[in-house]
Chain A
Amino acid sequence: MTLAKHLGIALIVGLALFLLSYKIGTYRDYQLAEFAAYVVAVAGLTVLIGISGQISIGHGAFMAIGAYAAALLLMHLHWPLELLIIAAAVVAAAAGGIVGVAAARLRGPYLAGATLMLAVALPSIADRYQGVFGGDQGLDINVSVPGFLGAAFPLTQWLAWVCCAAALITLVLLANLGRSRIGRSWRAVRDDEVAASLAGLNVARLQVLAFVVSSACAGVGGALLAIVTANVAPGAFTLTLSIGLLTAAVIGGLGSLAGAVWGSVLFVLVPGFLTNLTSSHGLSGAASSSVPIAAYGLVLIVVMLAFPAGLQGAVRRLLGTATPTVGTPLSALRRQAPASDTKEKGTT
């Protein structure tokens, strides 16, 4: 029932995006593709944080895993595009499962710290094993337009279709997952681990599962991004990216998939807009390269002060469709630290 509705709406939006891609020109197609790739990753992250109540500051690392998996499979085995994306999801999910096992034992700032380490350490593996991963230079990942579209069809438009389709499929899957028994269990775990385990839920298993789902999304997002930019290099997956994903999820509204979409819009549009703004005002290179990061910080502060439930919370409030039962997303994070105390008391 819900699935049919979600699918119906996704089809309509997909059709709208399909028509749109013809109207907007290649650069906007490129941005649309980039944006859709971020939507996939941010949507996964917002489910992890907002619904299952675990934080990750290292989600860029899972994007890197997906991107490199796709690049290597294309390079050595020449897999077709759809298989590359699925493979990226599987490989990143496996990595997420391993991290998730550790994550299920960690709470609040410790989990943040552990995932942070992942974001910092993982890209340097590419430098360490230069023969496999191509070092700083990275790997090329060049796909071509499928034959039925003709050779003259713009690649960016095709990639915009692929990325938007992937984003819509991901959103439908995540929306249904969030409405399912698993989603409800995640919320129960997020709100009170002791109560959840007393109700018969396997808390650790649910938390690992959330990490697996979330990393699979990040892997797909990373692979899409790599395909869109035709290159995968450690420089794409810096700590700034991981923090940026987190910021996008928070600005959009934690736990809200629509919020993930809003957050990704800012993520794609703001840097370009600011770069143009700063260069037209003749700021020096050093100053202008710091402006986007400073702007993120500023937007984050303003959004948090004005709309604690993120942009999507603001939209809901304006439309009068506030859904208080979902819980204000920030409280999910705030609840982390005490949760560890209660768990210790409860289980020992």
Chain B
Amino acid sequence: MKRSRTMAFAPVAGLAAAAMLITSCASSGSSGSGSSSGGSALTASAPGITSATITIGSHQPLTGIAAPGYDEISQASNAYFQYVNSHGGIYGRKIVYKYLNDQYNPSLTSSLVRQLVLKDNVFAIFNGLGTPTHLAVAPFLNSEKVPDIFVASGCECWDAPSKWPYTFGWQLDYVREGKILGQYIKQHFAGKKIGYFYQNDEFGQDGVKGLDYEIPAKQVVAKEAYDATNTAIGPLVAKLKAAGAQVVVSFSVPAFTALLKLNALGLSYNPQLVVSDVGSDAITLAGLLQSFAKQSHKTVNGNQLTQGIITDGYLPALGDASSSWIQLFTQIHSQYLSKLPLDGNVEYGLSAGYAFVQAMLKAGRNPTRQDLVNAINAGIGQGPVVAPYAYSATNHNGVTGAYLGIIDNGVLKPQGSVLVTDATAGGAITPDTSPQPAAPTSGIPAK
């Protein structure tokens, strides 16, 4: 009887004590509010904003299956922020970019983003990477009214201003991209057998949706979906081969584009590859192909294997040394980021960082979270992307178009002009011939 009392008390007492322990580490997260209008004083106008800093957060795959290539993006954005910080910052405030590793695992994303918002009091979540991962937190961010800007995913789902008023896409969405690639395939591979290879989530499904809008259904002989957690894709590639697909369109992350190529090679199967922008960075692919082949004790030439891949791009081609944007990026890269290659992922991170600075400058001197959302809803200039942004109060899609390109000797060679379209089935695909605005000489967007 006596013992039962101590036993009974122990667990509940433990629970209480444990709770105390948690509290004892509780930080006193105070956030000054009340936006001051006008004046020159910098105030703590919103959570994450002090008179000296703007703190923003992100979730990024720094390890795991999506990490190869994508782990460079946040470092590149941070490099651009350092560049801005050392050139006066945003109205004098320095950007603090806190990106945490979610390993492309939606459950980790869920808890990390809560940490960023509830504990670290970030002003906004910027460029959170991944469709499945970010879908796990978009409802939370919107219920907390935290700006969720420039999601690093082309899912069409970010364009839901009435459901998710705080979420904004940035890169070309996969439906538009699917349409642009689909039209090219329809025009250049008429009568050929087409196979689809895509990631089994909204990333791949959106891409397939866009492709299906353009490619005649009778030409499509196989649709094979892979799971990002399972690298054994041999059977899927064998099915594509068995169906006789002469052209394979791939909506895949870089690691799976490389696996597709190597598996096809193993089956002596050599279809024309058409790969979504996110899975086609030539430098990343070459590296992956070589390292995967090395794991099975083979040597391959990465550039030889990426030769002839058809893809699309919505940022200036890296090989275009005459572009003022490439010149700016090369300068920032050599100054802040020289340990990484200047590849498509770095260009992506720098460009997304540029877009963030554009939006913040537009949001005003002492912005609230709503000010930032309003600034983007009012539209932001094109900046480094090749087609205009779609942003408005009723449209939260980002880039609206891309050019087609072919990888030649490890370098993306653009083909033809930029094509813009919408995300609907019947929406026309039209060339956008207006010249891209040049980069500002300061490297920092105009206020």
Contacts and interface: CB of A to CB of B under 8 A. Distances in A.
Contacts of A27: 29, 114-115, 118-119
A23 B23 contact: yes
Interface stretch (A76-84, A202-210, A261-269, A327-335): A261-269
A247 B405 CA distance: 52
Interface centre among A17, A28, A256 (most CB of B within 10 A): A28
B132 A16 contact: no
Contacts of B131: 137
A43 interface: yes
A10 B6 CA distance: 14
The interface residues of chain A, by DSSP majority, are classed as helix
A107 B101 CA distance: 39
Contacts of B111: 34, 229
Interface string A228-266: 011101111000000000000000000011111110110
A137 B29 contact: no
Interface stretch (B33-41, B224-232, B258-266, B390-398): B224-232
Contact of A231 (B14, B18, B118, B136): B136
Given A25-B29, A269-B22, A9 B8 contact: yes
B63 A10 contact: no
B107 A24 contact: no
Interface centre among A16, A25, A269 (most CB of B within 10 A): A25
B5 interface: yes
B16 A13 contact: yes
B380 interface: no
Interface string A283-319: 0111011000000000000000000000010011000
B26 A127 contact: no
A258 B230 contact: no
Interface stretch (A109-117, A167-175, A192-200, A340-348): A167-175
B446 interface: no
A10 B8 CA distance: 10
Contacts of B200: 127, 130, 135-136
Nearest to B10: A258
Interface string B9-36: 1111111111111110111110000000
B135 interface: yes
B107 A235 contact: yes
Interface in A2-52: 2, 5-6, 9-10, 12-13, 16-17, 20, 23-28, 30-32, 34-36, 39, 43
Interface residues of B, number: 57
Given A127-B229, A135-B227, A136-B200, A230 B8 contact: no
B13 A13 contact: yes
B280 interface: no
Interface string A79-114: 000000000000000000000000000000000000
B11 A230 contact: no
Contacts of B101: 285, 288-289
Contacts of B4: 2, 5, 179
B418 interface: no
A253 B5 CA distance: 19
A29 to B, nearest CB: 8
Contacts of A179: 4, 7-8
B108 interface: yes
B202 A137 contact: yes
Contacts of B67: 285
A175 B100 CA distance: 39
Nearest to A67: B107
A16 B16 contact: yes
Interface centre among A140, A264, A265 (most CB of B within 10 A): A265
B201 interface: yes
B143 interface: yes
Contacts of B103: 289
B19 A17 contact: yes
A12 B15 CA distance: 11
Contact of A285 (B63, B119, B135): B63
A286 B10 contact: no
Interface of A: 2, 5-6, 9-10, 12-13, 16-17, 20, 23-28, 30-32, 34-36, 39, 43, 124, 127, 130, 135-138, 140, 142, 155-156, 164, 167-168, 171-172, 175, 178-179, 229-231, 233-236, 256-262, 264-265, 268-269, 272, 275, 279, 284-286, 288-289, 312, 315-316, 321, 323, 325
Interface of B: 3-23, 25-29, 62-63, 67, 71, 100-101, 103, 105-108, 110-111, 114-115, 118-119, 131-132, 135-136, 139-140, 143, 200-202, 227-230
22 contacts: A5-B4, A5-B8, A9-B12, A13-B13, A24-B22, A25-B26, A25-B28, A31-B22, A36-B15, A127-B229, A135-B200, A136-B227, A137-B106, A137-B136, A138-B106, A229-B111, A233-B136, A258-B14, A260-B11, A265-B21, A275-B100, A289-B62
Given A36-B15, A257-B14, 15 more contacts: A13-B15, A27-B119, A28-B22, A32-B19, A35-B19, A130-B200, A137-B131, A137-B201, A138-B107, A142-B139, A155-B143, A171-B15, A230-B139, A257-B11, A323-B3
